[in-house]
Each structure stands twice: as C-alpha cells, then as structure tokens.
C-alpha cells in the first residue's frame, strides 16, 4: 500500500509488528500470563481440551511480508509452564524492489527450568525476488527444560507453478543453554537462488526445506524412532537427524511443500508423543 503523503516520491508504507507473550504455571494448568500486541501482529488462544497445554496462534494482519517490513516476536515459558505457539497460516514474503531492504523478522524464545515449549510456525513461502532476513534465538535455562521447534521454507508457490528464481534469504537459528550458544545454524542464499538450490551440496533440486530442533533430557531416545519415520518419507524427501548432549537436530529437503509438510507431521508425532498438532496445522 502506498502512503498518500509519499506517493509522489515512490516510497512505500512498511508494515511493523511486535508481539510479546509469557506463559505461567498456575496450579496444574498453564495460562497465558502476559500478552502485548502492536502493529500487524496479533495472537489468539483457541479453546483446548482440559488437561492439555494451551496453544497460542499468531497472526500477521498485514497478510504477508514485503521489503522493509519489520516483525519481532518474544515468547517466554516460565518455570514449569507447558504451551505451544503456532501460526495461523503460512507466512508469505512477496517480491521486493531492488532498492528495498529485506523484510526483517526477529524471534526470541525463552524457556525456563522444567518448562515445555513448542514452536510450530507454518511454512514461510518466498515469492520470486523476495528478500528475507530472519533470526530465531532459543534461550534455554538450566533445569531440564524441553523444547521442540520447526522452521520450514518453501521457495515459491509450487502448486501454482511459481518458483523463486532470484532473491535473498538470510536465516539464522541460535540455540543457547544457560546463556551460552550451543548450536548456530545459518542459511545464506542470494542472487540466483534457483541455481543455488539445484546444487547437490545445497538442496539437490529441492524447493522446500525445514529444520527440526528439539532439546531436553529425552531427545537421545527419540532420534532412532525419528530416523525410522523419516526413512518412510514420500519420494523426493531427503533427510538427516542426529542427537548429542541433549539436543536433536534434523534437516529435511523436499521437492515440494506438500511432501515436506506430510513428513513434518509424521516427525512431530514422534517428538511430541501423545500430543495432537494444533488445529491450524490440520486445515
């Protein structure tokens, strides 16, 4: 949307959003204790079954991201709290002009002792010539917190025959434990993105990628069941999973977003035994 006051100069209005949430244990339940929304970001709490962790669903009212947009999300799980955060839909990153700065997204997830945190945004879809600079930082406290999270990116609306050919993606995942980084996973693609994805050492022709990250005392026992599930993934899905020092990390590369999503759903059933996925993932 063009700001009328700036229409003559060619400057476009930019979207900004801020969201801060905290979950607190109250007796045997977890409740949303703090909630602050600003700009394009909102959150909803659908009804959930008794004795199950709540799910917060985030929404970007701007309908997607464009060059120069700026979003920031902070979520805190206090001691003993158990809750999931998901997005209402896939996030779309639209074409940016050559002079535009990348869309900027900063996510910080803080997990206190004995808390159980789940981070389940749906896919980020990059349109041709999109620019995205995103960082997700997970801060785990001492005291055996548990965490399961997913980040997935699809390079184009593949079902419509639209492929991201050029653009830019800077994506960085940082996992901290007691204030010290223990895992840093950066992705940098720029220029001819399609050619880079075709390289065997990058995506081997895949157009959808995902990272699954889990932490906690139980994850070492889950890596073999996860590998077994991934071994039965749809054709065109490449995968690898490993676990060390209370961390599980898996990377998936798929030919398309549908195959990727199906594999993620099966993998999350292993990492979250006995827990249903948020309903937004089943729409």
Per-residue model confidence (pLDDT) at position 12: 66
Is 60 exceeded by the pLDDT of residue 7?
Answer: no
Distance of CA 9 to the CA centre of its chain: 35
Tokens of 33: 């204790």
Q: What is the pLDDT of residue 2?
A: 37
Mean pLDDT, all residues of the chain? 93
When pLDDT is cut at 50, 70 and 90, the band that residue 20 belongs to is: very high
Per-residue model confidence as pLDDT tens digits over 100-129: 999 999 999 999 999 999 999 999 999 999
**3-state DSSP assignment of residue 8:** helix
Q: What confidence score (pLDDT) does residue 161 get?
A: 86
Task: State phi, psi for 13 to the nearest 5 degrees.
Answer: -65, 140
Helices (H) and strands (E) in the chain, counts: 3, 17
The residue ranges of every structural domain in the chain are: 4-282
pLDDT of residue 4 exceeding 70: no
Q: Are 189 and 206 in contact (CB under 8 A)?
A: no
Average pLDDT over residues 173-192: 97
pLDDT at 160: 86
pLDDT tens-digit readout, 27-42: 989 999 999 999 999 9
What is the C-alpha to C-alpha distance for residues 118 and 139, in angstroms, rounded to an integer? Answer: 13
User: What's residue 11's pLDDT?
Assistant: 61
Q: What is the pLDDT of residues 57-73, one digit of tens each?
A: 999 999 999 999 999 99
CA dist., res. 237 & res. 253, Å (int):
6
DSSP bridge pairs for 110: 76, 139
Q: Residue 51 to residues 9, 118, 168, 232, 271: CA-CA distances in angstroms?
A: 56, 16, 43, 32, 19
pLDDT at 47: 85
- Between 206 and 8, name the one with better pLDDT: 206
pTM here? 0.93
Taking phi over 0 as left and psi of -120 to 50 as alpha, with beta for the rest, 10 belongs to left
Q: Would you state the pLDDT for residue 1? A: 37
Q: How confident is the model at residue 10 (pLDDT cuts 50, 70, 90)?
A: low
263: left (phi over 0), alpha (psi -120 to 50) or beta: alpha
Q: What was the pLDDT predicted at 48?
A: 77
* Percent share of the chain, pLDDT over 70: 95
| CB-neighbour burial class of residue 1 (10 A; exposed 0-12, middle 13-18, buried 19+) | exposed
Report the first-to-last Cα separation within the chain, whole angstroms.
Answer: 29
Alpha carbon distance 51, 245 (integer Å): 31
Q: 10 Å Cβ neighbour count for 63? A: 13
**pLDDT tens-digit map of 118-165:** 999 999 999 999 999 999 999 999 988 999 999 999 999 988 888 999
Helices (H), 98-232: 193-198, 223-230
| Mean of pLDDT values over 3-15 | 55
Token pair, residue 175, equals: 């996992």
Q: Flag whether pLDDT at 8 surpasses 90.
A: no
Give bridge partners of residue 3 from the DSSP assignment.
Answer: none
d(Cα 86, Cα 95) in Å, to the nearest integer?
25
């Amino acid at each position: 949307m063009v700001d009328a006051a700036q229409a003559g100069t060619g400057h476009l209005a930019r979207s900004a959003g801020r969201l801060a949430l905290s979950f607190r244990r109250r007796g045997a339940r977890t409740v949303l204790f703090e909630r602050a929304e600003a700009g394009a970001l909102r959150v909803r709490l659908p009804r959930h079954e008794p004795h199950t962790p709540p799910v917060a669903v985030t929404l970007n009212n701007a309908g997607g991201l464009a060059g120069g947009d700026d979003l920031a999300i902070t979520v805190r799980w206090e001691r003993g709290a158990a809750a999931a955060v998901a997005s209402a839909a896939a996030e779309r990153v639209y074409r940016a002009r050559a002079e535009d700065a990348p869309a900027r997204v900063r996510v910080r997830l803080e997990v206190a002792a004995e808390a159980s945190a789940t981070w389940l945004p749906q896919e980020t879809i990059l349109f041709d010539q999109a620019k995205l600079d995103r960082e997700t930082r997970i801060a785990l406290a001492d005291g055996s917190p548990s965490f399961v999270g997913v980040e997935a990116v699809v390079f184009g609306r593949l079902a419509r025959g639209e492929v991201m050919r050029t653009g830019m993606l800077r994506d960085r995942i940082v996992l901290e434990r007691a204030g010290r980084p223990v895992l840093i996973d950066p992705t940098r693609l720029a220029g001819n993105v399609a050619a880079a994805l075709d390289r065997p050492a990058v995506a081997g022709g895949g157009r959808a990628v995902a990272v699954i990250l889990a932490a906690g005392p139980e994850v070492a026992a889950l890596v073999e069941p996860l590998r077994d599930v991934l071994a039965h993934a749809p054709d065109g899905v490449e995968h690898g999973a490993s676990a060390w020092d209370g961390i599980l990390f898996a990377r998936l590369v798929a030919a398309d977003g549908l195959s990727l999503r199906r594999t993620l759903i099966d993998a999350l059933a292993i990492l979250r035994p006995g827990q249903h996925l948020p309903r937004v993932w089943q729409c």
